[in-house]
Amino acid sequence: MSRPQGIRTDKLSLWYTKFQALVDVSLEIDHGRVTGLIGPSGCGKTTLLRSFNRINERIEGVRIEGHVHILGDDIYAPEVDLVELRKRVGMVFQRPNPLPLSVRENVLFGLRVHVPRGELRRDELNHAVESSLKEVGLWDALKDKLGQRATSLSLEQQQKLCIARLLPLRPEILLMDEPCSALDPSATQRVEELIRELRDRYTIVIVTHNMAQARRISDECVFMLLGQVIEHRRTEDLFLSPKDERTANYVEGRFG
């Protein structure tokens, strides 16, 4: 059974001024699956993730060659609208980063920036808040605290809120950059559960340092080293019978 293509990169290379962080990365990521990006620190996995919504370009001195296609569209084509791209491709960061606004306004932020003011009806907004918070399991805890500042929530709630605020825009792809690294083990477990629940509806690409986590939640895994993709296979296969010796050494914990 062939799945539709979510993300395809073609000889993607990226430089931070002089330093080459990605080297000829060619990769195909299926739509509707969870793909884990693993590898030691500095291997380029976060850089790769951040080139899928072009947020890398915030940094001065970034130069990119090659192509990235998302659901068939070349996102580095000159006519691409970054605003539209980021509506389709949502991102969750390593440290929860809710905006210093109320819980409700955090969830609605995407709608507010993408939809002209006149077209937002109050009941639609209310519905968006409720359904997004329900989807991430925060509704019961926060339904009476929608006016509270989001930055005062617990880290777990903040990170779930950061996922919830992507949902009103109906993104097709969710990028997650070590979304649990700031959370304690039980919070991690609950966020992982949430990711599992979301997997059917979105293409999820998740960067993780934690190999056990990669095994638990990803369908496929990409192992990277020094800016290159070494191996990309089904998670089980990658961990149980890696083809490349470097992959084997990494997943067995001989370096990392």
Partner 1 sequence: MSREEVEGAGANPGAELGTGLGPRLGRSPARQRLHRAKELLIETVIRVCGVSAVIFVFGIFYFVFREAAPLLFGGLDLGELLTSGEWYPDSDNPRYGAFALIAGTLAVTLLAMLIAVPLGLGAAIFVSEFSRGRTREILKIVIELLAAIPSVVWGFIGLVIMNPLIIDLFDTPVGLNVLNGAILLALMSVPIIVSIGEDALKAVPDTYREAAEAMGATRWQVTWRVLLPAARNGLLAAVLLGVGRAVGETMAVLMATGHSVNVPDSPLDSVRTITATIASELGETAQGSDHYRVLFVLGSLLFLITFLVNLTADLVIRGFKRR
Integer Cα distance of 70 and 8 in angstroms: 6
Integer Cα distance of 245 and 123 in angstroms: 56
- Which region, judged by CB under 8 A, interacts with partner 1, from 21-29, 94-102, 133-141, 206-214? 94-102
Least separation in angstroms between residue 105's CB and partner 1 is 8
Query: Quick check: helix, strand or coil at residue 5?
Result: strand
Q: Would you count residue 169 as binding partner 1 (CB under 8 A)?
A: yes
Contacts of 144 (CB under 8 A, 6+ apart): none
CB 228 within 8 A of CB 24: yes
Q: Which of 60, 123, 140, 200 lies at the binding interface for partner 1 (CB under 8 A)?
A: 60
Q: What is the dihedral of CA 63, 96, 198, 108, to 10 degrees?
A: -90
- Pick the closer one to partner 1 by CB: 60 or 140: 60
Q: Would you count residue 104 as binding partner 1 (CB under 8 A)?
A: no
Can you list the alpha helix ranges (DSSP code H) found in the chain? Answer: 45-50, 82-88, 103-114, 122-135, 139-142, 155-164, 185-198, 211-217, 235-240, 245-251
Strand ranges in 17-61 using DSSP code E only, listed in sequence order: 19-30, 34-38
- Pick the closer one to partner 1 by CB: 116 or 185: 116
- Pick the closer one to partner 1 by CB: 94 or 228: 94
Q: Would you count residue 17 as binding partner 1 (CB under 8 A)?
A: no
- Pick the closer one to partner 1 by CB: 18 or 254: 18
| Residue corresponding to tokens 């791209």 | 85
- Pick the closer one to partner 1 by CB: 114 or 143: 114
- Which region, judged by CB under 8 A, interacts with partner 1, from 68-76, 165-173, 228-236, 242-250? 165-173
* Binding letters toward partner 1, positions 107-136, x by CB under 8 A: --xx-xxx----------------------
- Which region, judged by CB under 8 A, interacts with partner 1, from 27-35, 36-44, 63-71, 80-88? 80-88
Q: Report angle CA 210, 216, 217 to the nearest 5 degrees.
A: 95
Which parts of this chain interact with partner 1 (CB under 8 A)?
53, 55, 58, 60, 82-87, 90-91, 93, 95, 97-101, 109-110, 112-114, 162, 165-166, 169
